[in-house]
Amino acid sequence: MSANAKTFNPYLPQLAAVVERVDETRDVFTLRLCLHDAQARAAYRFQPGQFNMLYLWGVGEVAISIVSDPDDPDLIDHTIRAVGRVTRGLQRLKPGDKLGLRGPFGRGWPLEAAQGRHLLLITGGLGCAPTTSMIHYALQRRASYGRLTVCHGVKHPDDLIYTDRIQTWCAAPDTQVMLTADKGTPEWRGRVGLVTQALEDIDPIMFKGMAMMCGPEPMMVSVAEDLLKRGMMLTDIHLAMERNMQCAVGHCGHCQFGGKFICKDGPVFPYAQLRALLAVRGF
């Protein structure tokens, strides 16, 4: 290769535009994006569980999971919590505003291994976002999967997002949705308590299926260990991880977790690969 040879540059964002911004809660919003270049748009494909790097002009990049339907890669949805400089800036974008997008990156949910199995999706807080495209994927291919149980926990009822989608899921065949809030309100009709306690009420047949989780690490570990006690196979538990990803391609080193890079070996991992290290503080 000569100095001028053209190598694909995995760090270079593509131009994208905001099609719509949906404000989910006070600090959570969904950005619906469309790649600007028609060719790039036509070539863009993703798998449920993968993520994009979104670049806010002059501020920086953040890794955000893709929540939309892989069958419609023209419109790429990202649900984001405004917590830092970049995400707070992204929250102010309006339809037509431009930003940078590169991706998709990483390894998503185990779609093939999940075929024909019951799927138990357990999420905490904004962890519902990375699992959403998996839920849609399965519901679009309803016959390919067994029963679907979505168990979603939030701290406070006000944190609940995707209420429209959740209603659609409730109406889908062989699909059960359990909502739980750490603290209830008079209007809250879901369970009150930790999402980890909700396993009590899940039909034990689901423990013969496959679990997919996303949420705070202690919550995922606690649920995973409980699932194992209830007879689920270790190899059937998968979780989506989060770290400070800056390059998204295994070069910047920030997302290392033992011998794994969350960005390229994950973000979805079989629990067996992470179990030992998740038990240690400081990795």
Partner 1 sequence: MSQPSLLARADFDSLIRALAARGYRVLGPRVRSGSIVFDEISGAADLSAGFISVQEPGSYRLEDSGNGRYFDYVHGPESLKRFLFAPKETLWTVSAGGEVSFKETLPDLRPLAVIGARACDLAGVSVQDRTFLAGQHSNYTDPYYACRRENLFIVAVNCTRSAATCFCVSMNTGPRARAGYDLALTELDEAFLVEAGSEQGETLLADLPLKPARDVDETAATQAIAAAADSQTRRLDTTDIQALLFSNLEHPRWDDVAERCLSCANCTMVCPTCFCHSESDVMSLDGTASEHRREWSSCFTLQHGYIHGAQIRPQIRHRYRQWLTHKLAAWIEQFGASGCVGCGRCITWCPTGIDLIEEVNAIRATRIDTPAPFASLFPPG
User: For partner 1, which is the closer residue by CB, 69 or 265?
Assistant: 265
User: For partner 1, which is the closer residue by CB, 165 or 275?
Assistant: 275
Position among 135, 223, 237, 247 found at the interface with partner 1 (CB under 8 A)? 247
Position among 24, 43, 45, 84 found at the interface with partner 1 (CB under 8 A)? 84
Residues 6+ positions from 178 with CB-CB distance below 8 Å: 149, 150, 151, 152, 190, 191, 198, 201, 202
Q: Which residue has the tokens 């997008």?
A: 101
Q: Does 133 bind partner 1 (CB under 8 A)?
A: no
Size of the site for partner 1 (CB under 8 A): 46
Residues 6+ positions from 210 with CB-CB distance below 8 Å: 110, 113, 114, 117, 118, 119, 120, 236, 237, 238
Q: Does 57 bind partner 1 (CB under 8 A)?
A: yes
Q: Which residue has the tokens 């893709």?
A: 66
Q: Does 96 bind partner 1 (CB under 8 A)?
A: no
| Beta carbons of 174 and 143 less than 8 angstroms apart | no
| Beta carbons of 56 and 89 less than 8 angstroms apart | yes
Name the one range near partner 1 by CB under 8 A: 80-88, 140-148, 157-165, 197-205.
80-88
Q: Does 222 bind partner 1 (CB under 8 A)?
A: no
Q: Does 115 bind partner 1 (CB under 8 A)?
A: no
Shortest gap between Cβ of 65 and partner 1 (angstroms)?
A: 14
Joined tokens for residue 267: 């973000």
Q: Does 254 bind partner 1 (CB under 8 A)?
A: yes
Shortest gap between Cβ of 137 and partner 1 (angstroms)?
A: 23
How far is the C-alpha of 25 from the C-alpha of 12, rounded, in Å? 31
Question: Considering only CA atoms, which of 82, 134, 78, 73 is closest in space to residue 268?
Answer: 134
| Beta carbons of 195 and 61 less than 8 angstroms apart | no
Q: Does 235 bind partner 1 (CB under 8 A)?
A: no
How far is the C-alpha of 45 from the C-alpha of 235, rounded, in Å? 27
Shortest gap between Cβ of 12 and partner 1 (angstroms)?
A: 5
Position among 49, 209, 250, 267 found at the interface with partner 1 (CB under 8 A)? 250
Position among 69, 123, 242, 268 found at the interface with partner 1 (CB under 8 A)? 242
CA neighbours closer than 13 Å in the CB half-sphere of residue 125: 12
Shortest gap between Cβ of 143 and partner 1 (angstroms)?
A: 34
Residue ranges in 7-26 that form contacts with partner 1 under rule CB under 8 A: 7-15
Peptide bond into 104 cis (omega under 30): yes
Q: Catalog residues that contact partner 1 under the rule CB under 8 A.
A: 1-3, 7-15, 55, 57-61, 81, 83-84, 98, 100, 242-244, 246-247, 249-254, 256, 258-261, 264, 275-276, 280-283
